């Protein structure tokens, strides 16, 4: 019984992370240029751990990075909120 609850909890957690990654990705790509490109370059650097040779990541790439790293997702959501004044995630 406990295993079933853990699996369900893991799925719920995964769905929340996916929704957060999707919302943050949408917010990033909705920024106006030149800021969108600058933010995307920063996010690529943060995700890849080096200077971003990838200057134009796709929404799918960004979403995958944010989904895989929930701390990165929170940091990026905070950056976007600070810049735009709009909350991306509940409470962030």
> Where do the structural domains in the chain lie, given as residue ranges?
2-84
* Percentage, residues of the chain above pLDDT 90: 63
pLDDT given for residue 19 in this prediction: 95
Task: Name which of 13, 17, 31 is nearest 81 in CA terms.
Answer: 31
Q: What is the pLDDT of residues 10-67, one digit of tens each?
A: 677 899 999 999 999 999 999 999 999 999 999 999 998 876 566 689 999 999 999 9
Task: Give pTM, 2 decimals.
Answer: 0.79
pLDDT given for residue 53 in this prediction: 60
């Amino acid at each position: 019984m406990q295993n079933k609850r853990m699996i369900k909890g893991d799925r719920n957690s995964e769905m929340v992370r996916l929704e957060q990654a999707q919302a943050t990705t949408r917010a990033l790509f909705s920024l106006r240029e030149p800021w969108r490109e600058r933010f995307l370059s920063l996010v690529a650097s943060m995700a890849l751990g080096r200077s971003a040779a990838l200057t134009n990541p796709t929404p799918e790439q960004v979403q995958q990075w944010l989904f895989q790293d929930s701390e990165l997702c929170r940091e990026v959501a905070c950056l976007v909120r600070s810049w735009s004044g709009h909350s991306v995630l509940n409470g962030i």
